[in-house]
Structure 1
C-alpha cells in the first residue's frame, strides 16, 4: 500500500494529530492562531518573541482601507451574496505586485542582495544598480504615507525588543538611509516591505512570503464583508461607475 508521510494533520478514528501533538489536547485552547501558522510553515514551534513579531506582521497587513482587494471583495459579494468564498477569493487574487505582493518581492530582493562588508556600502551599490537599470527598489515609497509609514518604525521596535533584527532588516534600514544620495529625494520604507524583511529574518520560506500577506489579508477581507453587512457601500460604488459612464468612439489599437 502506498503511504504519504506528513508531519501535519492526520486523523484516526480516535484522535487527530498535528505537528506531532494531539490537536484536541495540546493545541486547541493552548496555541494561538499566529503561532500555529508559523509552526505549520516551519515545522518548528516559534519562540514567544518570534510569535510576537510574526503576529505584528499579520496585524500590519490585515487591512489598509478601501484598497482594490477590499473593493473587489465587497463588489463580488454584492454580485454573488451566496458565495462568501468567491468574494474572499476575488480579493485574495488581487494580491499582486502593487498590493500585498511587495511583501514577498521585498523579502526576496533583500535576500538576493545580502553580502559581506559595510551594510551601507552594499545598500548604496544596490540602489545605484536599480536606478541605472530603471527599476524600483521593492518596499521603497508609499502612495499614501509619503512622510513615513507608521507600521515601519513599530515593526523595527518590536524586532529590536525581541532581539530579532537580522540581516534583511539591517539591509532594508540601510537602503532607507542611503537612497536619497542616489535618487535625490527621500522615500519612506513602506510597511509591506518591512514585513517582508521581518518574515525573511524569521527564516520563513521566501517562496511563501506572499502567502503570509494573504493570510493576514483574509482576516481583513472578512472584516470588510462583516462591515458590508452592517453598512453596505458596494452598491453605491457600483452605481457611481455605472451611472457615470461616458460613451466614446471605438479606439482601435
Structure 2
C-alpha cells in the first residue's frame, strides 16, 4: 500500500464546525480579541508577541504604509486605470515594485546588521569601510527622517532597543559623511531586534504597503489622476528610430 500523503502545517485548518489558527479557535479565541498586527507577527514568529512588541511592530507598519506618489503607488493607479475590474491586479502591480530602492531597504538593512553582528564588526569598522550601508541616507530627508527618532523612542520605551538598532545608530554617529538614518532602515533594525527572521522583513514592508496601496486605489476611484499621468507621458514621448 502506498504511503499516505501528509502535508504538515502549524498555521490553520478547518472542519465542518470550526476553524483553527495557530492552535486557537479562530471564532472564539481570536476574532475581536487579537489585532491584525499582532496576528501577523504571531503567524510569522510562531509566538504571541508581548504588548510592547506589538507597539513597536505596528509602529513599523504605520511608518511604511504610504509615502505619496512613489513608483509603487503610480504602478497601482495605472494598473487600476487599465483594469478597473481587477483590484487584485492593481494591488499586485504596486507590491511587485517593492525592491532594493523602495521598501526593500527594510530587509537589506536588517540582513546587513545581522551579518555584521554575527561577524563581530564594530560601528567604526563599518563606517570606515567605504561600503554602501543600507539604512543611511534619504533622497528627501537630508537632515533627519521624521520617522527615525519616533521609532527609536518607542523601542526604548518598550525595552526593545536592541543590538541592531544600537549598531545602526553607532554607524551613523561615526560615519564620515554624516548621513541621516532613513526610516525604512530603522524599521528593519527594529524588526530584527524583535527577533523576527531577517529573511521575512521585506514581507512585513509589503504588508504595510498593501494598506497604503489600497488607499491609493480607493483615492484613484474617487478622484482619478492616473489618466493624466498616462497622457502626460504619452503626449511627451519622443520617438527616436
Q: TM-score, normalised by structure 1?
A: 0.91
Q: Of residues 20, 23, 35 in structure 2, which corresponds to 1:20? A: 23
- Give the number of equivalent residue pairs: 238
Residue 137 (str. 1) matches residue 129 (str. 2): no
Other-structure match for 1:157: 153
Aligned to 2:128, the other structure's residue is in SS state helix
In the TM superposition, what is the alpha-carbon distance from 1:137 to its structure 2 partner?
A: 0.7
In the TM superposition, what is the alpha-carbon distance from 1:2 to its structure 2 partner?
A: 2.2
Aligned to 2:190, the other structure's residue is in SS state helix
**Counterpart contact for 1:77–1:84, Cα < 8 Å:** yes
Residue 105 (str. 1) matches residue 105 (str. 2): no
**Counterpart contact for 1:115–1:122, Cα < 8 Å:** no
RMSD: 1.3
**Counterpart contact for 1:110–1:171, Cα < 8 Å:** yes
Structure 2: where are the runs of 5+ without partners? none
Q: TM-score, normalised by structure 2?
A: 0.96
Other-structure match for 1:123: 123
Structure 2 Cα separation of the partners of residues 115 and 171 of structure 1: 12
In the TM superposition, what is the alpha-carbon distance from 1:116 to its structure 2 partner?
A: 8.6
Other-structure match for 2:49: 46
Structure 1 Cα separation of the partners of residues 158 and 18 of structure 2: 36
In the TM superposition, what is the alpha-carbon distance from 1:247 to its structure 2 partner?
A: 2.4
Aligned to 1:85, the other structure's residue is in SS state helix
**Counterpart contact for 1:149–1:191, Cα < 8 Å:** yes
In the TM superposition, what is the alpha-carbon distance from 1:244 to its structure 2 partner?
A: 1.1
In the TM superposition, what is the alpha-carbon distance from 1:237 to its structure 2 partner?
A: 0.6
Structure 1 Cα separation of the partners of residues 178 and 175 of structure 2: 7
Structure 2 Cα separation of the partners of residues 143 and 178 of structure 1: 20
In the TM superposition, what is the alpha-carbon distance from 1:210 to its structure 2 partner?
A: 0.3
Structure 1 Cα separation of the partners of residues 169 and 40 of structure 2: 27
